[in-house]
Amino acid sequence: MQKKIKAPLTGVVIEVAVSVDQAVTKGELLVLLESMKVQLRVEADSDGLVRGVFAAVGDTIQRDATLVSLEANSITNADDVNVDSSIGASPHSLIQEFYDRQALSLDQHRSDAALKRHSKGYQTARENLARLCDPTSFQEYGQFAVAAQRQRHDYQTLKTSSAADGIITGIGQVNGQSVALVVNDYSVMAGTQGYFHHQKLDRILAVARDKKLPVIMFTEGGGGRPGVTDVKHSFARLIRSAQGSGTSMS
């Protein structure tokens, strides 16, 4: 009986230690991945014979992608893969926590918001971004930001309902050219602008200035956002400063 040995998380293959028809023992290294500068060993969970290798050095492997098929001598759970971080168990759990947190801001975890956009004939902000950018080139800034409303709403809820605080910012490639990208997300509080939203916008414009990058911006939204509770004093100072300099906050 063959079973699939899958990648425990997204990473880059830096070593493939086995080949087809090779006999392996439990605990033997099959594939070495690197994710967030941490190396992760994917090992055989039983003695067996390698029947297929589906990864090569340099490949970017998505989580749950099959790395190796193994005909086991002593069958264990097909998904029970031994994973060992080269610097201990804690970094692996932190990496997984990072990916889980990251996923909360993606369309797959915001299906109701995505369906609402599609029902009106629009794409989501992340779909617009994906169609614009060269594949896998986008490096996001401030993805974990949420609305400054923790005193009004549960923080766990805000991670999804106010994903990225209504604005996606980062650096990506468009037709091979590096650009700064700003995409307003109307599915987050009607695209209104909050405290961290503005901080993210300021940051990416500063990056664009320093790196001398052109800026592409998808603008869609409902203006200023009421109900900021977490940083009201700082936000008030920000508004006064903007008014004093003649800068619009809308």
| Pairwise CA distance, residues 159 & 148, whole Å | 11
* Domain map (residue ranges) of the chain: 2-87, 104-245
What pLDDT, on a 0 to 100 scale, did the predictor assign at position 242? 56
Q: What is the DSSP string of 94-143?
A: HHHHHHHHHHTTSGGG-HHHHHHHHHTT---HHHHHHHHSPTT--EEEST
What pLDDT, on a 0 to 100 scale, did the predictor assign at position 246? 52
What pLDDT, on a 0 to 100 scale, did the predictor assign at position 222? 81
CATH superfamily for domain 104-245? 2-enoyl-CoA Hydratase; Chain A, domain 1 (3.90.226.10)
Cβ atoms of 166 and 199 within 8 Å: the answer is no
* Residue with token string 């974990």: 144
Give the 3-state secondary structure of residue 178: strand
What pLDDT, on a 0 to 100 scale, did the predictor assign at position 64? 84
Cβ atoms of 50 and 20 within 8 Å: the answer is yes
Q: What is the CA radius of gyration of the chain?
A: 23
**Taking Cα atoms as reference points, which of 106, 201, 200 lies closest to residue 159?**
106
pLDDT mean values, one per 10 residues, the chain (250 residues): 85 91 92 78 90 92 89 54 44 74 89 94 94 88 92 90 95 94 95 91 96 95 81 56 51
Specify the CATH architecture of the domain 2-87. Answer: Beta Barrel (2.40)
Q: Is the pTM of this model over 0.85?
A: no
Token code pair at residue 184: 């307003």
